[in-house]
Amino acid sequence: MPRKAKKQKSRGVVDTNVLVAGISGFREPYVRGKNTSADVLYKWAEKGSFVWLVTEDILDE
Amino acid sequence: MQKQRLKLKQASAVLQIEPKELQNLVQFGVVKPKRFEGTYFFDTNTLMVAKVAFCLKESLGTRTSVLSKLMDVFLASEKEFKADNPKYIVFKCRLSAEEDPIKVGVPFRALGEQLQEQMIRAELYRDLPRGRKRRGWKKEFLESLTEAAKEIGEVSDEEILQTVRAYRKERRAPEITVAAES
């Protein structure tokens, strides 16, 4: 019997631009749809919607 | 620098070295932290040894067998260096009896300053379950975002983009120079 393919979570690097823009979206109480970058961060915290990869360069930034 | 005893993960965060890399330096006897009930503890002296050793390893690819000899010599003079806080310390290393020694300079003061600056990281890397496994993680994460947002202040997406671009442009490749010394 063929093995059921395991659904893999998407993996991605969040660029520093997106991260900082997303953070700045939390200055006021978070409202979905107001800031796309903040939505990415909120969704990641809420559902773990993707595997957040980091690179040394981005950590450095 | 405050008297502190850090566990391996904390030490690696302060040193900005992967825990595995630091563990390797310990296993090969380059860095010799005190061990208590199976756990390594790094004091400020050991952190400085690790910082210097990693600098040599990363910059010059120095072998661990050579590194451990260099660090033994360094450790013997560390107190003196700490008191004088020289800009550079210079290792003289004679590879064979017939040859003149080679000299390698390490920016001691700058490395010490980096260590001091990064000490705050020790507090962030306490032995708590990581990420989502920790109770209340999501709340903590979102609160951190709110705090960070307040610190950042009002900036436009364009300003963020320009700042990141400028930083990336500024980041230069390491410079290598050679100069005669009598």
With respect to residue B99, please indicate whether it lies within any of the assigned structural domains.
Answer: yes
Cβ atoms of B16 and B118 within 8 Å: the answer is yes
Cβ atoms of B22 and B13 within 8 Å: the answer is no
* Domain, as residue range, for B46: 8-128
With respect to residue B158, please indicate whether it lies within any of the assigned structural domains.
Answer: no
What pLDDT is stored for residue B1 in this prediction? Answer: 47
What pLDDT is stored for residue B173 in this prediction? Answer: 62
Cβ atoms of A30 and B142 within 8 Å: the answer is yes
Of residues A23, A46, A61, nearest to B145 (C-beta): A23
> What residues does each domain of chain A span?
10-60
What pLDDT is stored for residue B11 in this prediction? Answer: 93
Interface test with B, best of A23, A42, A51 (most B CBs within 10 A): A23
pLDDT in tens, chain B (182 residues): 446 789 998 999 899 999 999 999 999 999 999 998 888 999 999 999 999 999 999 999 888 888 999 999 999 998 899 899 999 999 998 877 888 888 999 999 999 999 998 888 887 777 666 677 778 889 989 999 999 999 988 889 899 999 998 888 887 666 666 666 66
Question: Cβ neighbours of residue B14 under 8 Å, at least 6 residues apart?
Answer: B6, B47, B115, B118, B119, B121, B122
**Residue B19 maps to which CATH number?**
1.10.1660
Q: Which residues of A are less than 8 Å from B145 in CB distance?
A: 22-23, 26, 41
Token readout for B31 is: 């860095």
Token readout for B114 is: 């980096």
pLDDT at A6 over 70: no
CB environment B115-154: b (16+ within 10 A), e (fewer): beeebebbeebeeeeeeeeeeeeeeebbeebbeebeeeee
What average pLDDT does chain A have? 86
What is the number of domains present in chain B? 1
With respect to residue B143, please indicate whether it lies within any of the assigned structural domains.
Answer: no
pTM of the model: 0.57
The tens digit of pLDDT for each residue in B3-52 reads 678 999 899 989 999 999 999 999 999 999 999 888 899 999 999 999 99
What pLDDT is stored for residue B127 in this prediction? Answer: 65
The answer to whether residue A21 neighbours chain B at the CB level (below 8 Å) is yes
Q: Which residues of A are less than 8 Å from B149 in CB distance?
A: 23-27
Around B158, how many Cα atoms within 13 Å sit in the side-chain half-sphere? 0
Residue A46 and residue B138: Cβ atoms within 8 Å?
yes
With respect to residue B124, please indicate whether it lies within any of the assigned structural domains.
Answer: yes
A55: phi then psi, degrees, rounded to nearest 5: -115, 160
From first CA to last CA, the distance across chain B in angstroms is 35
Length of chain A: 61
What pLDDT is stored for residue B168 in this prediction? Answer: 87
